[in-house]
Amino acid sequence: MNINRQELDRLTLELKDETLRHKAFSRIVEMLSKPIYWHIRKMVLSHADADDLLQNTFMKAWQAIDSFRGDSQIHTWLYKIASNETLTFLAQQRIKNISTSLEMEELLLNNLKADSYFDGDELQRRLQEAILTLPEKQRLVFNMRYYDNIPYEEMATICNNSVGALKASYHHAVKKIEAIFKTED
Amino acid sequence: MKHNFDFENCSPTNPFSTPEGYFEKFARKIEAATAPKQISLAQRSRPYWYAAAAVALVLSIGAFFFQDYRNDAIIKEQAKELASNPDEDAIKRILEEETSEAMIIDYILADAE
């Protein structure tokens, strides 16, 4: 994540001032909508769903801005909201459309195939298929670490989990994906 | 064709894309959706209108009861005048002042009780 932390810290302070709040929040949206979008998108795969969830994330953050006390960094707080929104959405999709995780995997794969905003090559498509075999929380951990290189300490705050558990989860995810590629070859 | 996946040597590539100008449009959409609502002059002055309506209502009720009290006083005055000086001029004058017959009867009955 390439974020200007100093500017974010200043904007976070400005959020507490009602006269500066809207402008500061708009700037935060400009700075963080991209990384948070990719975070969501890698979970739901389709652009339309990622767009809805990104909007929900920022609107919920705006409505709850008074409850943000600055215990964590603003981007960590937003990642947490986005992760919760995404996991809730996937759980609702599961209940709405299907009953088993295999079927959920198929649904997401179909979303990926139907989405015109996927530019990956054959290897990347296979990697996405392999990632989809992971349980949702493990997928979240894998994506944050593999694609965004988020420090485990930050991931621990976002996922409400210990650093040790997240390291183990990532390690298992990598092993599973490697095993899938070996089996296919 | 083999597709070995080597985590050590394969750098992560984001395979997804978005529509042209998506993030700029998104930022503008959120900025508009979270903008403080502009309060119109009519909305701002609404409490004053309510207060003015309440004052007008209180004054109307007061005026109604005051008028009633004033009518009673006039009737009593006229009836007294009639009783002390029951000449035709007095009756004529009272009738000219449009005091109704019913008002006079009411007063006489009340007095009789």
pLDDT at B3 over 70: no
SS3 per residue for A12-81: HHHCCCHHHHHHHHHHHHHHHHHHHHHHHHHHHCCHHHHHHHHHHHHHHHHHCHHHCCCCCCHHHHHHHH
Suggest the residue from A2, A18, A20, A58 to mutate for an interface test with chain B (most B CBs closer than 10 A).
A58
Chain A touched by B19 (CB under 8 Å): yes
The size of the A-B interface in CB pairs under 8 A is: 87
Cβ-based neighbour number of residue B44 at 10 Å? 9
Instruction: Tell me which chain A residues have a C-beta less than 8 angstroms from the C-beta of B29.
Output: 55
- Tens of pLDDT, residue by residue over A148-175, are 999 999 999 999 999 999 999 999 999 9
Mean pLDDT of chain A: 89
What pLDDT digit, counting tens, does each position of A65-100 carry? 988 877 788 999 999 999 999 999 999 888 877 655
Question: Looking at A33-37, B32-36, B101-105, which range is the least confident one?
Answer: B101-105
Distance (Å, rounded) from C-alpha A27 to C-alpha A22? 9
Shortest alpha-carbon distance between residue A178 and chain B (Å):
7
Confidence at residue B4, expressed as pLDDT on a 0 to 100 scale: 58
pLDDT computed for residue B9 by the predictor:
66
Of A54-68, A93-107, A152-166, B43-57, the one with minimum mean pLDDT is A93-107
- In this prediction, residue A50 carries a pLDDT of 96
B25 near A CB under 8 A? no
**A85-89, A107-111, B79-83, B88-92: which is most confident:** A85-89
Say if the Cβ atoms of A22 and B34 lie within 8 Å: yes
Query: Which residue in A34, A57, A29 sits closest to B35, CA to CA?
Result: A29
Here the ipTM equals 0.85
pLDDT score at A185: 61
Q: What residues have CB less than 8 Å from A140, skipping those under 6 apart?
A: A43, A83, A86, A87, A159
Q: Which of B3, B23, B34 sits opposite A126 (nearest CB)?
A: B3
Q: Would you give the distance in Å from CA B41 to the centre of its chain?
A: 17
With 50 as the cut, is the pLDDT of residue B99 above it?
Answer: yes
Per-residue pLDDT, A183: 82
Residue A178: list chain B partners with CB under 8 A.
Answer: 5, 7
Contact status, residue A181 vs residue B3, Cβ threshold 8 Å? yes
List chain A residues with CB under 8 Å of B4. Answer: 181-182, 185
DSSP one-letter code for A185: -
In the prediction, which pLDDT does A109 show? 78
- How many CA atoms within 13 Å lie on the side-chain side of A102? 0
Structure tokens at A151: 């420090």
Residue A47: pLDDT band with limits 50, 70, 90: very high
Average confidence (pLDDT) over A48-65:
96
Q: In Å, what is the CA distance from B19 to each residue of A12, A50, A180, B28?
A: 30, 12, 32, 15
Local confidence band at B1 (pLDDT 50, 70, 90 cut-offs): very low
- What sign has the CA pseudo-torsion B36, B40, B45, B49? negative
| Alpha-helix residue ranges (DSSP H) falling in chain B | 22-34, 41-44, 46-84, 88-96, 101-112
Check CB contact of B69 with chain A, cutoff 8 Å: no
- B4-14 mean pLDDT: 73
Residue A145 pLDDT > 60:
yes
**Of A93, A81, A103, nearest to A159 (Cα)?**
A81
Tokens of B3: 């597709």
pLDDT for residue B2: 44
